[in-house]
Every structure is written in structure tokens, then in C-alpha cells.
Amino acid sequence: MPKTNRASERGFTLLEMVCVLALIAILAAVLLPFVPRHTTRARLQAYVLQTAALLKQDRNAAIRRGTAIATLVDPGSRVIRSGAGADMVRIPDDVQFEALLPRTCNQREALSTISFFASGMSCGGSVALMRADVGYEVRVNWLTGRIEIVSRSAN
């Protein structure tokens, strides 16, 4: 009775491994675009910091230039746009975006803006950015123009 060589039957060949890896790569290439991409907590914090920085930049520009500057806050188009320059923050669709803005500022309609004056004062307002488990609010003090970030529980 001939002996069978069991050593040659163990394991996988290189060709089998390459074929399996190729199939996995093809499946990943096909399915990866369908995996939802959610805003991470760190990315949400980055949007909040960018918003606060843009507001501070506009406040500083108003003081430096000696004139009023209005920052546009548009939850409909999901954009916060600087009144002093071309900077803007675009908020992704999976982030809940709310704004509490004054109706009038300096006896004029505010029109979805947070205004800063040459004195550094403001008419105030707040911008809230939230996702399912976490939220932040960027507040502009109406008297001092101070910008602060406050953690807020998402509802």
C-alpha cells in the first residue's frame, strides 16, 4: 500500500491566498461607498472651534476697523460665513444645526446675523451644533461680545 504524503496537503497555496485577498478587495471596493460616514465627536468639536474662531475673528476685525461687522448664520444652507473675509464653516447634514439670533440689532433687522460693533459689543446670539449623543453651543454675549463654548446635552 503506497504511503500518502500528508505534508503536501496541509495549508493553502499562494495562489489560493491571492485569490481570497482579491475577492476581499473587490468586495471592499464595491461596499465601501455605501457605508454611512457619520461625523465623529472630534470632528463635531472641530466644527464648534471653527465657528468660535470665525466669530472671534469678526469681532476682532470690527474693533480693528472701527466699524460694525455682521457674521451670517444660515441654518437653512448649513453655513456660517464671515462678515470680515471669505472664511466660512460648512456644517454637514448629519449634524443638527440650530441658531438663536436676535430679530433686531441696533434698531435694524438682524437678518440671520450676529453683529459686532467697533466697541467690541454685539447684539448676541448662539449657534448650537449637535449629533445624537453630544452637543455644543457657541454663545456670543450681547453686552461684551465675548464668545464662549458650552457643552450641551443633545435631545
pLDDT tens column, 75-95: 999 999 999 999 999 999 999
Look at residue 86 and tell me if it is in a domain: yes
Predicted confidence at residue 13, as pLDDT, reads 85
> Which residues span the domain enclosing 106?
41-152
Bridge partner residues of 115 (DSSP): 70
pLDDT classification of 132: cutoffs 50, 70, 90: confident
Q: What is the pLDDT of residues 29-63, one digit of tens each?
A: 887 776 667 888 889 999 999 999 999 999 999 99
pTM as predicted: 0.75
Report yes or no on 148 lying in a domain: yes
Say whether 7 sits in a helix, a strand or coil. Answer: helix
Model pLDDT, residue 7: 56
pLDDT of 153 reads: 72
Work out how many domains the chain is built from and give that number. Answer: 1
Q: Is residue 24 part of a domain?
A: no
Q: Is 128 within the bounds of a domain?
A: yes
Query: Do residues 114 and 125 lie in contact, with contact meaning Cβ atoms separated by under 8 Å?
Result: yes
CA 14 to each of CA 85, 86, 131: distance values in angstroms, whole numbers, following the listed order: 59, 56, 47
Residue 72 has pLDDT above 80, yes or no: yes
- Residue-averaged pLDDT of the chain: 88
Q: Does some domain include residue 94?
A: yes
Q: What are phi and psi of 108, to 5 degrees?
A: -135, 160
Query: CB within 8 A of 117, min separation 6: which ones?
Result: 62, 68, 106, 145
Q: Is 33 contained in some domain?
A: no
Residue 146 confidence (pLDDT): 95
Residue 9's pLDDT is 64
Tell me, what's the pLDDT at 68? 93
Q: Identify the residue with better confidence: 3 or 50.
A: 50
Residue 110 sits in a domain of what CATH number?
Answer: 3.55.40.10
Residue 55: inside a domain: yes
CA of 100: how far to CAs of 41, 61, 63, 73, 126, in Å? 23, 23, 24, 10, 5
19 within some domain: no
First and final CA of the chain: distance in angstroms? 77
Q: How far apart are CA 70 and CA 62, in angstroms?
A: 9
